[in-house]
Amino acid sequence: MLLRQLQYLAALAREKHFARAAAACDVTQPTLSAGIKQLEETFGVLIVERGQRFRSLTPEGERVLEWALHVLSDYDSLAQELSGMRTGLTGRLRIGAIPTTLPITSLLTTPFVKLHPGVTITILSRTSIEIQRGLEDFELDIGLTYLDNEPLTRVRTIPLYQEHYLLFTPKGSAFADRAEITWREAASVPLCLLTPDMQNRRIIDGYFRDAGVHPDATVETNSTITLYSHLRSGEWSTILPQTIFHLIGEMDEVRAIPLVEPVARHTIGLIAPERDPLPPAVRELLELVQSHGLASLMESLTSRRL
């Protein structure tokens, strides 16, 4: 019974609304409220600040929630482990990926599903900060993100490939016939870039600052597909890593020009919680990457056009 009450608490913390939390748990609101009340009686503390509606968790409630998330995660991992021993791995693997890595996630998920067809994979586009937070809050199982630009805490890492940057510009634009272009020059063209909350944009802005210029970002978006859409219009240029080729292939109407001064490279890799034992699906994915040489494969596929 305690496990179900912890599930109620986790849902309430996530939804911040009694009715929505009850619906998420497939119970009535009185049942959920009674479960939270029983949890408070069990531990002898007030967990939820109540009013006409949900206000917040008490400090004691925040601590109970922290432990509840651990317990629920461990329970799911145990169930996944036992299922794997009986009939093969089942359950769900939740991957948080920064937008610039989305074109190549299939290089990881396709061989994984062939080995573990009973696992459902959810891939979510997230910022690097959201990925770190999602791992800490047990909302994500593994992340695909930068390893060497901004600090990562309490995670284990596996490097996959080096990200390189190119200016994608319509043929016929001012720099379309160039073999390479400097960051200073690239700042002078109308650009469609990722939004500043994306680490890729923060990296790009850093190189522009080092060149002593500010980019003319006419359009900002958190979607690489939107970047590509604006690029196809012929009015904007954009800066993207080479991984976009895996999604869109070669483009007759667009030139991809390497950016120099400096030639920028950043390491992309997998991050997983620094905990033991790992959830079975996470463990299996990390072992797959290491045993099947997926990092070498991804590095070769993402660098062959440069």
Q: What does the pLDDT look like over 160-187, one tens digit per residue? A: 988 889 999 988 888 888 999 999 999 9
pTM above 0.85, yes or no: no
Q: pLDDT (tens digit, 9 = 90+) per residue, 9-48?
A: 888 888 888 889 889 889 998 898 899 898 888 889 998 8
* Domains of the chain with bracketed CATH: 2-83 (1.10.10.10), 90-160+268-303 (3.40.190.10), 163-265 (3.40.190.290)
pLDDT at 185: 94
Q: What percent of the chain has pLDDT over 70?
A: 94
pLDDT at 250: 67
Task: For the chain, give the mean pLDDT.
Answer: 87
Residue 299 — pLDDT band, cuts 50, 70, 90?
low
Q: What is the DSSP letter of 279?
A: P
Q: pLDDT (tens digit, 9 = 90+) per residue, 239-264?
A: 998 888 777 766 778 899 999 999 88
pLDDT at 249: 67
Does position 196 have pLDDT exceeding 50, yes or no? yes
Tokens of 141: 């199982």
Return the higher-pLDDT residue of 96 and 8. 96
Long-range contacts of 86-91 (CB under 8 A, 24+ apart): 87/118, 88/116, 88/117, 88/118, 89/116, 89/118, 89/119, 89/280, 89/281, 89/284, 90/118, 90/119, 91/118, 91/119, 91/120, 91/280, 91/281
Tally Cβ neighbours within 10 Å of residue 243: 23
Q: What is the Cα 295 distance to its own chain's centre?
A: 18
Does position 306 have pLDDT exceeding 60, yes or no? no
Tally Cβ neighbours within 10 Å of residue 92: 13
pLDDT at 140: 94
